[in-house]
Structure 1
Amino acid sequence: MTRRLRPWTVLESRELLDAEPFLKVHVETVELPDGRVIRDYYQFDMPSFACIFAETEDGRIIVYRQYRHGPRRVNLTFPGGHLSPGEDPLEAARRELLEETGFVSDRWTALGGYTVNANQGGALSHMFHAAGCRRVAEPSSDDLEETEILFMTRQELVGAIARGDIALLTQIALVSMVWQDEIREAAAAGQAAAVPDP
């Protein structure tokens, strides 16, 4: 029988930093189910974002090469960006894909929204797969990042992942969600190859 786990109770929440729209920091006093009280549990509020695995009509994946200040290096990422307040995640994904790449798609699959940080909260990453993307305009993004747009084959993207060219966990998670069957088959083949013959 599965034991019923109880959530923590927030006894108090105090704002420490308001750098809206990018970051708010709170410190909470929380009570655990066993009665223990933790007085300094920090929480982050950050804008949620859409992350898009976009494939063109000829099966190439739209990828950016750009500097990201979190990992402090140039790496590969997928199109995406922050949701505006009250914006539907799919509408944000459609908007970001068009602004950043000039591409649109009529075949969208929502893959879910996931909390980025397990303990401090932060943002939700809304994952999408857009297939059959076609160009209808020039990119018009006003992001801070210098961006090089690449159109990669699956083999090229797999090679880039193997070299460590993707530094962000959300991006690796998105590839895994879209390619779950291929990844499972590759893992099984790798495990079979690692097992010595009797």
Structure 2
Amino acid sequence: MDRIREYLAFVQRHPEQFVQDPIMPIVLEEEKLRAYEAETGKEVGLLFRSPWFLLAADLIRPEKGELYLYYRILKETDYDGVVILPILEGKAVLLKNYRHGPRRWELELPRGGAELGLSPAEDAVKELWEEMGTKTTELIPLGTVINDTSKVYGALHLFACHIASVGPLQEEECITGVELFTAEECRRAIVDGTIQDSLTIAALTKAMLAGIL
């Protein structure tokens, strides 16, 4: 893979992810990118591609000082993913999920990365069905958040929905159970660290502030 040509091709497909600002302009001229690599020995452009995300090294030309690299996670979609708050009989439904990142069990809401060709709402319905075998006829938008503003392009769309039951769980994704929390129990669990996932905390907080939970 030619890192720089792949990178510039991505720029052409997604110019919105490379908006220029005088405080932190991105170098997008091929000859300048190759010259920087040759002079410094540092890799520039598209470093890694997976089915879910891309890792890029942007070359930044600051107003003052020398050129430097800034690493970002990019996607072929215009949003990062979705988080869904299922509400059953007035209580939040949290999944018991073993997570590889921290290598431990977490209590989380259903969520998933953006899928090419799907809108955020379609993606949310799909994730809800896949992770907990539940269908919904109405999604309540809770707004958006950015997972990590220093590293990630694109927002996560948050939704709530009322469900009638919980179906088969996605055990192959290490989801083994559910727990139901009232709004007050959610508040206590966030404060005492029982719930630590930042995306779950964001969706629960927005729902509670909006009076949905």
TM-score interval, normalised by the smaller of the two chains:
0.7 to 0.9
Q: CA shift at 1:83, angstroms?
A: 2.6
Report the residue type matching 2:82 in the other structure: A
Q: Which structure is higher in strand share? A: 1
Q: State the partner residue of 1:50.
A: 82
CA contact (8 A) 1:50 1:125 kept: yes
Q: State the partner residue of 2:176.
A: 147
Q: Deviations over 1:43-66 (max 9, x none)?
A: 12257221011112x212111112
Task: Output the TM-score relative to the length of structure 2.
Answer: 0.70
Report the residue type matching 2:59 in the other structure: T
CA contact (8 A) 1:29 1:37 kept: no
CA contact (8 A) 1:111 1:127 kept: yes
Aligned: 1:22 with 2:52: yes
Task: Output the TM-score relative to the length of structure 1.
Answer: 0.74
Aligned residues: 173
1:11 aligned counterpart, secondary structure: coil
Aligned CA RMSD, in angstroms, stands at 2.6
Q: Which structure is higher in helix share? A: 2
Aligned: 1:129 with 2:145: no
Report the residue type matching 2:123 in the other structure: A
| Structure 1 segments unaligned to the other structure (5+ residues) | 183-198
Aligned: 1:73 with 2:89: no
1:86 aligned counterpart, secondary structure: coil
| Structure 2 segments unaligned to the other structure (5+ residues) | 1-20, 29-43
Q: CA shift at 1:16, angstroms?
A: 1.5
CA contact (8 A) 2:144 2:155 kept: yes
User: C-alpha distance in 2, partners of 1:173/1:97?
Assistant: 18
Q: Deviations over 1:20-74 (max 9, x none)?
A: 1133211111223x35453211112257221011112x21211111222223321
- Residues 110, 6 of structure 1: alpha-carbon distance in 2 compared, 3 angstrom cutoff: farther
Q: Deviations over 1:141-161 (max 9, x none)?
A: 364223212222223333322
CA contact (8 A) 2:169 2:177 kept: no
- Tell which deviates more after alignment, 35-44 or 167-176: 35-44
1:134 aligned counterpart, secondary structure: coil
1:97 aligned counterpart, secondary structure: helix
User: C-alpha distance in 2, partners of 1:155/1:106?
Assistant: 27
CA contact (8 A) 1:98 1:139 kept: no
CA contact (8 A) 1:71 1:167 kept: no
Q: State the partner residue of 2:25.
A: 9
CA contact (8 A) 2:26 2:58 kept: yes
User: C-alpha distance in 2, partners of 1:123/1:89?
Assistant: 12
